Amino acid sequence: MAEPTTTARPSTATVQSVTRAFDLLELIADAGGDTTISEIAGITGLPLPTIHRLLRTLVDRGYARQLTNRHYALGPRLVRLGDVANRQFGQIAMPQLKALVDRLGETANLATIDGDAVVYISQAPSPHAMRMFTEVGGRAGLHSTSAGKAMLSQLTDDQVRAIAGRTGLPASTPRSLTTVDALLADVALTRDRGYAFDDGEHEVGVRCVGMAVADMPALTAVSISGPVSRVDDDFVLRALPLLRDTVAEITRAAHAG
């Protein structure tokens, strides 16, 4: 099982049982949405009776589910909370996305991770008639989008392998990465250069440049997308510093107040 991607920060102002309950939800999410009590105990070090009590409460409230194989998964009640949080976060980032479109003329997207997929939570469309087809609420593969690969670059190689094992790396286009070795090489390149590139891997004839947004509770990225006729090498060079400024501004806006 992959190591959790979040680390609890103890504080004298927190309520221990609430903190532990949220830690369990994040651990289940980090495990791909399916884990066992023994795995939870091995990672958290909590006594089994404590884990049983917390999970029973989460299951009763609909925030977790016990599967037929006695594993635990995230519950349906989290869907509504996630939808509302995504909409609110998307609204916070919209001024930055619009400013990016004003400067570059192509569609700007804010995306986060949902399970093993990218979900687009905010978008400022290009003024051009010809633009990408992805819309807010749309889902896509982590391995075939610049936003997704930017998120994967924040994980370890073992975590990337685990995701690839679960999704199977389906091909959206003939240019999609369909092997784990190819994906890991691309993710390594993304880490080194600080941005991800999608050259027609999700939509035929569409190029995207993406960057991870740092210091977020969940993996998040911004991307700029457009047709290959407009998103050339010169465009990418112009876009990179603007993308860096945008992700920094979104981080500040998300943590303001």
The predicted pLDDT at position 2 comes to 42
92: left (phi over 0), alpha (psi -120 to 50) or beta: alpha
Question: How many whole angstroms separate alpha carbon 255 and alpha carbon 216?
Answer: 9
Q: Which residue has the higher pLDDT, 35 or 201?
A: 201
For the domain bounded by 80-255, which CATH number is listed?
3.30.450.40
Q: Is residue 8 over pLDDT 60?
A: no
- The dihedrals phi and psi of 70, each to the nearest 5 degrees, come to 70, 10
Residue 23 has what pLDDT? 85
Of residues 118 and 74, which shows the higher confidence score? 118
Which residue would you say has higher pLDDT here, 154 or 85? 154
Q: How much is the average pLDDT of 92-113?
A: 92
Instruction: Look up residue 111 and give its two tokens.
Output: 């995306």
| CA-based torsion, 36, 81, 252, 112: positive or negative | positive
Tell me which range, 14-18, 188-192, 247-251, is most confidently predicted by mean pLDDT.
188-192
- Say what the pLDDT of residue 90 is: 58
pLDDT tier, 83 (very low <50, low <70, confident <90, very high otherwise): low
Helix 48-61, helix 37-44: angle, nearest 10: 120
Q: Is the pLDDT of residue 13 over 70?
A: no
Comparing 244 with 34, the larger pLDDT belongs to: 244
**pTM of the predicted structure, to 2 decimals:** 0.71
Q: What's the confidence (pLDDT) of residue 256?
A: 74
Residue 86 confidence class, pLDDT cut points 50, 70, 90: low
Instruction: Locate the domains of the chain by residue range.
Output: 16-75, 80-255
pLDDT given at position 84: 63
Say which CATH architecture domain 16-75 belongs to: Orthogonal Bundle (1.10)
pLDDT at position 87 is 64
CA dist 132 and 78 (Å) reads: 30
> How confident is residue 229, by pLDDT bands cut at 50, 70 and 90?
very high
Sign of CA dihedral 69, 40, 214, 195: negative
Q: How many angstroms separate the CA atoms of 232 and 210, rounded?
A: 15
Range name among 10-24, 55-69, 89-103, 174-188 with the lowest pLDDT average:
10-24
pLDDT over 80 (residue 32):
no
Q: Could you tell me what percent of the chain has a pLDDT over 90? A: 49
pLDDT of residue 12: 47
pLDDT surpasses 60 at 71:
yes
DSSP 5: S
Asked if residue 109 has pLDDT above 90, the reply is yes
Answer whether 109's CB lies under 8 Å from 128's CB.
no
Structure token digits, residue 30:
């980090």
- pLDDT for 247 equals 93
